[in-house]
């Protein structure tokens, strides 16, 4: 493959790249716009009011966000899905009279598949699962970034705090949450050709399911880890220690990765054009419990969930991961 992208490229591919660039650059654009507005003195009163609103008054991130359906339906998100391309595989119907917790695996670098599937209509989620209203959950710190917070809430994003999860699950039929279970720790293991999941000790979403009577829906994305090259640091290295410290302080970490650029194929922040297949498995129905579940009950349900994730892998690995370097592993 040549280093530079050809200057003459079909407009369709340019639109696809542009749609992905919109998402990748959202934080940078939000911050630059905010800093620019801060240079305009007569806007300072409005800026101060906005910051007070963010920091002290606005509870929307804890109350399901402020999703804007027309923005989720933007034609550009179809281009986003076609860039890779992404494909949604549906294993079964979901009853709109119930609530669900979608567990998305793996985290990858930026969870492209989770965003496209649950944060947009790029893969026609609402048509494939009528009556189900997902909220893609992310760290509370993301809702402290001016303008970016409003942008991601328009996509239907909300805080991943326990209070936020319970509010959504208890706010009516069909309201559901999407948790990228492996989180920041799993992003450090996002190597192409592998699927290492951080799942053994993740019991929080299991407890949420039992306490709220929400069915669990395992979701496995084949190809998510192939979108970027990742440079792994040894666990004993100074780099790894810094990454872990960053994660403890801020809730996320900074894996060393490389993708492609707008005009080149070898270096940049854009993901590679690799196919991603998102398999939404059959639900594991959970009955609501009174009181706090025991450790044994949590572990029993977690085992059922992990078994179903492994079953999805076995059903599709030869079709969607034929060039894999190893089998799926539950690493921690």
Length of the chain: 332
pTM for the model stands at 0.92
User: What is the per-residue pLDDT across 53-102, written as a single tens digit (0 to 9) for each?
Assistant: 998 899 999 999 999 999 999 999 999 999 999 999 999 999 999 999 99
**Rounded CA gap, 6 and 72, in Å?**
31
Q: Which domains does the chain have, with CATH numbers?
A: 11-330 (3.40.1130)
Residues 6 or more apart in contact with residue 31 via CB below 8 angstroms:
145, 146, 147, 148
Phi, psi (5° rounding) for residue 256? Answer: -85, 115
User: What is the per-residue pLDDT across 193-245, written as a single tens digit (0 to 9) for each?
Assistant: 999 999 999 999 999 999 999 999 999 999 999 999 877 655 556 655 655 56
CA 151 → CA 3, 154, 210, 215, distances in Å? 33, 5, 32, 29
């Amino acid at each position: 493959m040549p280093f530079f992208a050809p200057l003459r490229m079909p407009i369709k591919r340019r639109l696809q790249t542009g749609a992905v660039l919109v998402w990748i650059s959202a934080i940078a654009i939000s911050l630059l716009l905010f800093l620019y507005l801060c240079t305009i003195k007569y806007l300072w009163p409005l800026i101060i009011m906005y910051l007070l609103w963010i920091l002290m008054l606005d509870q929307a991130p804890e109350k399901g966000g402020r999703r804007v359906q027309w923005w989720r339906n933007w034609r550009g998100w179809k281009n986003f899905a076609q860039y890779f391309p992404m494909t949604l595989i549906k294993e079964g119907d979901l009853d709109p009279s119930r609530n669900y917790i979608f567990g998305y695996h793996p985290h990858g670098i930026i969870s492209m598949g989770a965003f496209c599937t649950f944060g947009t209509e790029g893969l026609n989620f609402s048509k494939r699962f009528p009556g189900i209203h997902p909220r893609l959950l992310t760290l509370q710190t993301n809702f402290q970034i001016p303008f970016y917070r409003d942008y991601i809430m328009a996509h239907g994003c909300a805080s991943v705090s326990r209070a936020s999860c319970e509010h959504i699950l208890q706010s009516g039929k069909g309201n559901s949450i999407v948790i990228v279970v492996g989180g920041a720790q799993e992003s450090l293991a996002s190597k192409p050709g592998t699927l290492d999941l951080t799942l053994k000790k993740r019991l929080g979403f299991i407890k949420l399911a039992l306490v709220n009577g929400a069915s669990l829906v395992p979701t496995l994305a084949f190809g998510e880890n192939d979108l970027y090259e990742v440079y792994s640091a040894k666990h004993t290295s100074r780099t790894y220690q810094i990454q872990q410290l960053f994660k403890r302080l801020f809730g996320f970490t900074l894996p060393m990765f490389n993708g492609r650029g707008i005009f080149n194929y070898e270096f940049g922040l854009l993901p590679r054009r690799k196919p991603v297949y998102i398999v939404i498995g059959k639900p594991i129905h959970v009955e609501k419990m009174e009181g706090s579940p025991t450790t044994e009950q949590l572990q029993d349900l977690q085992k059922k969930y992990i078994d179903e994730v492994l079953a999805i892998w076995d059903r599709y690995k030869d079709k969607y991961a034929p060039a894999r370097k190893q089998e799926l592993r539950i690493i921690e």
